[in-house]
Amino acid sequence: MYSFILENAKTIFDKVPVYHIQLRQKASEYKSQEAFEIGFQTLQELGVDVPIVSDSRTLKKAFIQQMKKFKEFMKERKITDLFNLPEVKNQKIIEAIAIVTNLGDIAIAMKPEMLPLVSVLGTNLSLLYGNTKFSPISYVMMGVILNLFFKDYQAGYELGQVALKLNQLKFPSDLIYGKVLAFYGWNINHWIYHTNEDLEISKQGDEITMKNSDFVYASYFQIMFVKVAFYCAADLEEVSHYAKKCFEFGEKYKIPFTTSMAIPTYQTVLALQGETKKPTSFETDSYGEEEYIKKHKDYGQPMAYHYLRKFQLHYLFGEYGKCWNILPKVEKYFPNIPQHIAFSEFHFFNALTLLALFPILIEEDRKVSQPKLDRSFQYLKLWSEHCKPNFLHKLYLVEAEKAKIENKENEAIRFYNLSIESAIHYSYTQNAALANELAGMFFISKGVYPIASQYFQEAEYLYKTWGQRQKHRMLPKNQYSNVGSRRNVYKIWKREQNNLYIFTNH
């Protein structure tokens, strides 16, 4: 059918709508390489000088060349100036930017190695010729790239804001607004603001895209809600409910990606609630891990979430050796979700895992692990500078575990309590529970059992609040004498300013 229409098309403008449909179809079939071949061919027909990309080397070269152009264009401009660029009148350029943004959509979901190139390519077309109704998509994608490659989260946020403002005030389109909001919510907002805002973005985006019958992007927002709800400690029953809605949506609208992306988080919830065959297994009577892996092994994002959730489960249940074994697979796939909030989950649990294992690693493994630990620590530190609500409690907990293995008891206690207080303040219940649990283990290692008991009691309460039925059952029993609440213990420690006080008075 496509061949017949294209052969009988009189102009390139008759062909472009067909190319857009082909791109979406190839994406829905997980045929991203074919989609890019169609997209680049279309750009050439539209007169755009498209770089030849045949492998990773030529891809990197093309990206560097486009970035040089971007920097030259921006030399005398501020990011906010992009809002005032003139409107493009050349129809071929308008169609070209539309094709590039469509390719960017496919790249971020299925072919992330292409995202940097198409993002800067689309942005450069706008900087050279002016704005179109599709320019906001290029700008928000470029914001993702500034975050990813240059760690410039403020500039990335500003580009995202220009994209939203441009769409709302100069080129109003709910259809495009949904796309811009998806990129912004999945990849930018949480590096600056609390993830609760991501939940609101996902709700707003779902409503807008469903109103416009844009079911593919509606599915992205529904998946986003599940991922973010899990991240920010929504009740696990609620997370489970929304994951099931993703399954229903994917089946109804024939979008298998929706189901594939929701499954790892859903199975994790079941495991935490004690409804899988083993605490760290995804296996149930109706679900098999090996079947999922076999089906999705060539698709980066589903596999990234599968192995990330397994990694988290192994850590939460103290299976650090299994964390070590699965780490290479997590590292293989997590670059597919480089600016999702889950990217920070990896670095948080990666740091905690390596710190837990460090005392028993052989020298060769320590040398390999140290740069990885340092990188995760630096990420958490950088993110905490930009957004304390989402990341500071994580940084504090890593600091506590680091101080623990360095035998800096005073620092460890201080950071455990700072982590707990920050996590509670910003409603990260699950991480407050984890920080209490690790603090309890720290005091057990020092033989201070009554104080350990208080931390475990609070961890149990917080795990229950989160809806985590399996984990709190496995905490040490409250068999030690009551010496007062954790907060009172911390006040005593602060008042005395004596490292030995809580270790010698028990």
Residues 192/195/196/198 CA torsion (nearest 10 deg)? 90
Tokens of 208: 């807008």
Q: CA-to-CA distance for 14 and 31, rounded, in angstroms?
A: 24
Q: Which residues pair with 87 in a beta bridge?
A: 131
Contact (CB, 8 A) for 409 and 498: no
Q: CA-to-CA distance for 485 and 464, rounded, in angstroms?
A: 18
Contact (CB, 8 A) for 431 and 233: yes
Q: Which residues pair with 234 in a beta bridge?
A: none
Secondary structure (H, E, C), 426-450? CCCHHHHHHHHHHHHHHHHHCCCHH
The amino acid at 306: H
CB atoms within 10 A of CB 211: 12
Query: What domains can be seen in the chain, in order of their start residue?
Result: 1-187 (no CATH), 194-275 (no CATH), 387-506 (1.25.40)
Q: CA-to-CA distance for 272 and 86, rounded, in angstroms?
A: 54
- Look at residue 8 in the predicted model and tell me its pLDDT: 61
CA atoms within a 13 Å half-sphere pointing along the CA-CB vector of 464: 10
Q: CA-to-CA distance for 156 and 173, rounded, in angstroms?
A: 22
- Look at residue 4 in the predicted model and tell me its pLDDT: 55
Given a cut of 70, the residues of the chain with pLDDT beneath it are 1-9, 471-474, 476-506
- Closest-CA residue to 264 (of 206, 340, 199): 340
- Look at residue 5 in the predicted model and tell me its pLDDT: 59
- Closest-CA residue to 303 (of 332, 280, 328): 332
Phi/psi for 85 (5° steps) reads -65, 150
What does the DSSP 8-state code read for residue 280?
A: T
CA 119 distance to own-chain centroid: 19
Instruction: Note the pLDDT tens digit of each residue in 162-191.
Output: 999 999 999 999 999 999 999 999 999 999
- Residue corresponding to tokens 């293995």: 405
- Look at residue 210 in the predicted model and tell me its pLDDT: 97
CB atoms within 10 A of CB 360: 10
Q: Show contacts of 351-356: CB within 8 Å, 24+ apart.
A: 351/376, 351/377, 351/380, 351/398, 351/401, 352/315, 352/397, 352/398, 352/401, 353/311, 353/315, 353/320, 353/323, 353/324, 353/327, 355/398, 355/401, 355/402, 355/404, 355/405, 356/315, 356/320, 356/401
Q: CA-to-CA distance for 496 and 279, rounded, in angstroms?
A: 42
The widest CA-to-CA distance across the chain, in whole angstroms, is 89
